[in-house]
Amino acid sequence: MNTPVIFIIYNRPDLTRQVFEVIRSQQPKHLYVIADGPKLGSAQDAENVEQTRRLIDPDWDCSLVCDYSDVNLGCQQRIFYGLSSAFEKHDRAIILEDDCLANADFFRFCEELLDVYANSPEVRQISGTNFLEPRFFKGSHAMTQYPTPWGWATWRRAWQEMDLSMTSFFENEEAIRKRSTISKRAWQKLVKRLKKVSTGEVDSWAYPWLATCLAKDGLVVTPKQNLVSNIGFDRRSTHTSDPQSFFANRPREAFDFPIDEYVPVRLDTRVNRELFNLIFASGYRKKSLFRKLFG
């Protein structure tokens, strides 16, 4: 596979092993691994981090870069600077974290659409996750507003505009809200969360990425079938600790190729509305999904 793969790992060797096996099956020519350092004063964490890193041993011909930190920088700083460094070397990449178990179709889907939308600056991300039923989709994929981070791909051109401080979002908040499908109540919840990220109360890179995409009026490709399963819903997880969650271990589905290259490059209001209802709903099983997704 020609598209570089960025693999974000930390201290869960059991999950890392599973995801690495999937990456191995694709044999990417370029593999870029990002890892944070162990928490200060925790011998167990240090051992888990070291054990996890030892698993990264490609047995195929590839260019391997291990961007490992000796100290614990935290989720936001480690991933932001790691991805930024990777995109200095590559103009596009597929990104997986250690708990995002993709199928083979995910890689093909991302690789093909990275080509299709390479020169469409409004498209910010290719997602591998879909929680909606296929009946909502007119084509093989749809354009939405929400960059789910459980298996995704993007371009240097998009990541270079990542606004970690979310300054552009906060300065243009009202205008962004008016062109969004988010209800007033959900919007207030989202903004409250973004402010907690901006003050350091919440450690997340995904919220600033969401804010950047909204501020830039960006589009996100969402597949008709779900191609990635989050297998990290356990007590070790930062954001997804409930193994009984409706969203834990979602089945990975075969994608119905070929890809429809003529999906309009504009917001699909129906799919976007349904996705909004799911992510920001407060009902049973769906409560605070956006916190699980973004931190």
Compute and round to an integer the Cα radius of gyration of the chain: 18
Q: Does 292 score more than 60 pLDDT?
A: no
249 φ/ψ sector (left φ>0, alpha ψ -120 to 50, else beta): left
The DSSP element (H or E) to which 64 belongs, if any, is strand 63-68
pTM higher than 0.85:
yes
Q: What does the alpha-carbon distance between residue 94 and residue 110 come to, in Å, rounded to a whole number?
A: 7
Q: Which residue has the higher pLDDT, 9 or 131?
A: 9
Residue 210 within a domain:
no
Establish if 181 belongs to a structural domain.
Answer: no
Question: What SS3 class is residue 162?
Answer: coil
In this predicted model, what pLDDT tens digit does every residue of 266-288 receive, in sequence order?
A: 999 999 888 877 777 655 344 44
Q: What is the pLDDT of residues 9-68, one digit of tens each?
A: 999 999 999 999 999 999 999 999 999 999 999 999 999 999 999 999 999 999 999 999
pLDDT at 245 over 80: no
Q: For residue 102, give its domain range.
A: 5-160+220-269
Residue 283: inside a domain, yes or no? no
Number of domains in the chain: 1
Q: How far is CA 179 from CA 46, 69, 122, 217, 267, in A?
A: 46, 40, 15, 8, 11
Reading phi first (left if > 0) and then psi (alpha if -120 to 50, else beta), residue 135 is in alpha
Is residue 264 a part of any domain in this protein?
yes
CATH of the domain at 241: 3.90.550.10
pLDDT of residue 180: 82
Residue 179 in any domain: the answer is: no
List pLDDT tens digits, range 184-234.
877 888 899 999 999 999 999 999 999 999 999 999 999 999 999 999 866
Kindly state whether residue 105 falls inside one of the protein's structural domains. yes
pLDDT digits (tens, 9 = 90+) for 161-182: 999 999 999 999 999 998 887 7
So what's the pLDDT on residue 249?
Answer: 60
For residue 63, give the 3-state DSSP assignment: strand
Percent with pLDDT over 70 in the chain: 89
Residue position matching structure tokens 């070291």: 50
CA angle 130, 188, 229 (to 5 degrees): 20
73 alpha carbon, distance to own chain's centre: 19
> How far apart, in whole angstroms, are the C-alpha atoms of residue 50 and residue 173?
43
d(CA 226, CA 217): 24
Element at 228 (helix H, strand E): strand 228-230
DSSP readout, 110-161?
A: HHHHHHHTTT-TTEEEEE----S-GGG-SSSEEEES----SSEEEEHHHHTT
Burial class (CB in 10 A: 0-12, 13-18, 19+), 245: middle
In a domain, 199, yes or no: no
Please check whether residue 183 lies inside any domain of the structure: no
- Please state, in angstroms and rounded to a whole number, the distance separating the CA atoms of residues 261 and 241: 37
